[in-house]
Homo-oligomer: A and B are copies of this chain.
Amino acid sequence: MKSEKRSKGENNFINGLEPIVTLTMADRVEAQLRKYLKEEGFKPGDSIPKEIEIAETLGVSRNVVREALSRFRMLGLIESRKRRGMVLARPDVLVSLERVLDPYILTKDTRKELFELRLILEMGLADLLFVRKTEKDYEALEEIVDREKLAKKTLDRIQCDIEFHAMLYRIAGNNVLKRFQKLLLPVFQYVVEYESKHRDSKWPLVGEIKHQDLVNILKSGTPGDFREAMYSHLKPHFDHV
């Protein structure tokens, strides 16, 4: 899975000539092992063959096997204990994303698409919110809104804005989603900052509908109302799209 991107745009002047892929042993062992574990139906808790056995079976050095296993360990696919060998584990879906979601190394396109993803998520949140919301959630939201109203510095208002939206995700009661949002946050901030620099728009960037309105609708409106309101709220961002 090594990316074989050419350095310049000078390729494909000879059409139909693909660069030869030269996977390292570690890459191939990783693929082989993944295939093996899948096909043999290994499940979390099962222990897998020892390093040496793998190495000998595949005809590679133990070193190479360890590089592949090291990758699995990082992803949480396996856990290894001395003497005990290694057992398959349940990886956390998001730890892998965690290691890659750095706004500074993403392409502009990817950042843009991830930002769109945020808009999609927040628009789609409505129904889950209405299913899971409780009285306490109103209080938490109101508290944030109050703080926002009192905030003088722009930075404080931004902070409240972030907290408000984060709270919505929390109310939705979906842990993966909440953590996903947390991971995406730096990307959002980067994009917004970047945008605001290039358009000197004021910030936070909100439409006609304010946070207070959203809370009110959440209290006594319908999911449909909320979706419309959220769209208005996010409209300035949608307009960039």
Q: Are A128 and B99 in contact (CB under 8 A)?
A: no
Q: Are A106 and B90 in contact (CB under 8 A)?
A: yes
Taking the full assembly, how many copies of this chain does it contain? 2
* Nearest-Cβ distance from residue A10 to partner chain B, whole angstroms: 17
A58 CB-CB contact with B under 8 Å: no
Q: Are A104 and B174 in contact (CB under 8 A)?
A: no
**Interface of chain A, main secondary structure:** helix
A120 CB-CB contact with B under 8 Å: yes
Give the residue of B70, B176, B238 whose beta carbon is less than 8 angstroms from that of A127. Answer: B238
Q: Once bound together, how far apart are the Cα atoms of A109 and B106, in whole Å?
A: 30
A131 CB-CB contact with B under 8 Å: yes
Which of A75-83, A150-158, A191-199, A207-215 forms contacts with chain B?
A75-83
Which of A49-57, A159-167, A222-230 forms contacts with chain B?
A222-230
Known: A26-B70, A113-B175, A124-B123. A89 touches B3 (CB 8 A): yes
Q: Once bound together, how far apart are the Cα atoms of A180 and B180, in whole Å?
A: 13
Closest chain B residue, CB of each to CB of A177: B117
Known: A96-B97, A117-B177. A102 touches B38 (CB 8 A): yes
**What are 5 A-to-B residue pairs whose CB atoms are below 8 Å?**
A2-B79, A90-B106, A96-B96, A96-B100, A116-B177
Please give the residue numbers on chain A whose beta carbons come within 8 Å of chain B beta carbons, in ascending order: 1-3, 24, 26-27, 30, 34, 38, 43-44, 63, 66-68, 70-71, 73-77, 79, 88-93, 95-97, 99-102, 104-107, 109-110, 113-114, 116-117, 119-128, 131, 172, 174-177, 180, 223-224, 227-228, 231, 238, 241
